[in-house]
Amino acid sequence: MGPLIPNGLIPIEWNFIVAILIGIAFGYIMEATGFSSSRKLAGIFYGYDFAVLKVFFTAAVVAVIGLYYLDYLNFLDISQLYVQPTYLWAAIIGGMIMGVGFLAGGFCPGTSLCAVAIGKIDGMIFTVGLMIGIFIFSESFSTLEPFFESSNLGHITLVDTLSMSPYWIILIITIIAVLAFAFSDWVRSKIKKVFY
């Protein structure tokens, strides 16, 4: 039963080979859907291109349905999968800073690596910026630590937060995604095209 490597069904030595192969697929998919272009990514915020919304939500919905289905079929133990801890205020403030960074820079870390790979100089500068940002965080860690470690709610999922069955949550998320897709197509039809 999965996950295979933590349960010793695939020897741990394969871990890094698996990492490179998964990375290649991840990078290929992102580049092929246009995620190496900052102007395409930024389109979601101005209504001229919703590729980010469509790719991101389709992936999230497919993944969550698939993982819970594999769990239902006993191919995978969902309780063994890594759920990151929820540090409430760190997640909110960190997310907000990332939101401003996204609008200013036009990339996120994964997409900037794709941009670097195909020769976008703006992607390279963004990646240098990322490392400077990480450096600033690390150097001021003693000041930020109390906030960084505060409001820890543990490794919780929406099942705990909403006290609902995961299957209902997944159904609701799927409906929200489909409505968002329809809404985004309607918005796009109203907005002046941007060529890039």
Partner 1 sequence: MKEKKQKNRHVYWNPYFGGFLLGLLIILTFYLTGRGLGASGALKSGVVTIVHSVAPTHAENNAYYSKFLKDGEFPMNNWLVFEALGVILGAFLSGALTGRLKLKVQHSPKITSRRRLIFALIGGILFGLGAQIARGCTSGAALSGMAVLATAGFITMIAIFGTGYLVAYFFRKNWI
Site for partner 1 in 21-60 (CB under 8 A): 21-34, 36-40, 42-46, 48, 50-51, 54-60
Least distance in Å: CB of 176 to partner 1?
A: 11
Question: What is the Cα gyration radius of the chain?
Answer: 19
- 132: contact with partner 1 by CB under 8 A: yes
Q: How far is the CB of 186 from partner 1 (least distance, A)?
A: 16
Give the nearest distance from C-beta 61 to partner 1 in angstroms: 7
Distance between CA atoms of residues 47 and 39, nearest Å: 12
Q: Which is nearer to partner 1, 80 or 175 (CB)?
A: 80
The correct pick among 110, 168, 183, 187 for binding partner 1 (CB under 8 A) is 110
Closest distance between partner 1 and the C-beta of residue 77, in Å?
Answer: 9
Q: Does 70 bind partner 1 (CB under 8 A)?
A: yes
Buried b (16+ CB within 10 A) or exposed e, 9-19: eeeeeeeeeee
Whether 181 contacts 54, CB under 8 Å: yes
Return phi, psi of residue 152, to 5°.
-85, 115
Q: How far is the CB of 12 from partner 1 (least distance, A)?
A: 10
Q: Which amino acid is at 176?
A: I
Question: Amino acid identity, residue 152?
Answer: N
Minimum CB separation of residue 190 from partner 1 in Å reads 14
Of all helices (H) and strands (E), which one includes residue 55? helix 51-72
Instruction: Pick from 8, 11, 73, 84 the residue near partner 1 by CB under 8 A.
Output: 84
The residues with which 152 forms a beta bridge, in sequence order, are 87
Find the binding residues for partner 1 in span 158-187 (CB under 8 A): 158-161, 166, 169-170
> What gap in Å lies between CA 177 and CA 42, rounded to an integer?
19
Is residue 130 near partner 1 by the rule CB under 8 A?
Answer: yes
Q: Is the dihedral of CA 12, 86, 29, 119 positive or negative?
A: negative
- The residue from 8, 82, 171, 188 that contacts partner 1 (CB under 8 A) is 82
**What type of residue is 63?**
A
Choosing from 8, 11, 13, 142, the residue that interacts with partner 1 (CB under 8 A) is 142
In contact, 41 and 104? CB cutoff 8 Å:
no
